[in-house]
Amino acid sequence: MAIPLLHLGLLVRDQPRSLGFYATYFGFDAAGARRYPDGTVIVRNPQGFDLALHPGAPPEQLPAFVHFGFQLPDTSAVRALLARMEADGVPIVERWDEPGYAAFKCLDPDGWRVEAYWEPAG
């Protein structure tokens, strides 16, 4: 039985800024965000994935392999999001566009590496 991963917690310096980033680029519902007594804000995307934004200072330097990703429906969606983020000045740190795989990694407002990718179903 597959057990889906549906929750990620991140330390963020500025919750409204981070909430805006994930709502703008990855479809999280900022209007439905919930604040908890410890200060955590949890926001959900249309697929039911919860992102918990904890107030605090993220680590200054993480290994480059530490990241999380969002699968997009096709290569054109990856390219369109990349173009939009580049136009908005979002830092892009890696990119691939090959037959059977298109992806890029960007930095969120706190420096977390976020991957947007497409690859054929395996």
- Average pLDDT of 27-47? 96
- Read off the pLDDT band of 28 (50, 70, 90): very high
Task: State the pLDDT confidence band at 91, using cuts at 50, 70 and 90.
Answer: very high
- The CA-atom distances, in angstroms, between 101 and each of 56, 96, 118 are 35, 7, 6
Domain 67-122 in CATH 3.40.50.300: no
Q: 104 pairs with which residues across the strands?
A: 95, 116
Tell me, yes or no, if the two domains 7-56 and 67-122 fold the same way.
yes
Per-domain residue ranges of the chain: 7-56, 67-122
pLDDT of residue 59: 86
CATH, domain 7-56, list 3.40.50.720, 3.10.180.10, 3.30.365.10, 3.40.30.10: 3.10.180.10
For 45-51, which contacts have Cβ atoms below 8 Å and span 24 or more sequence positions?
A: 48/6, 49/6, 49/7, 49/8, 50/6, 50/7, 50/8, 51/7, 51/8, 51/9, 51/10, 51/22
The predicted-structure confidence for 45-72, as pLDDT tens digits, reads as follows 999 999 999 999 888 888 889 999 999 9
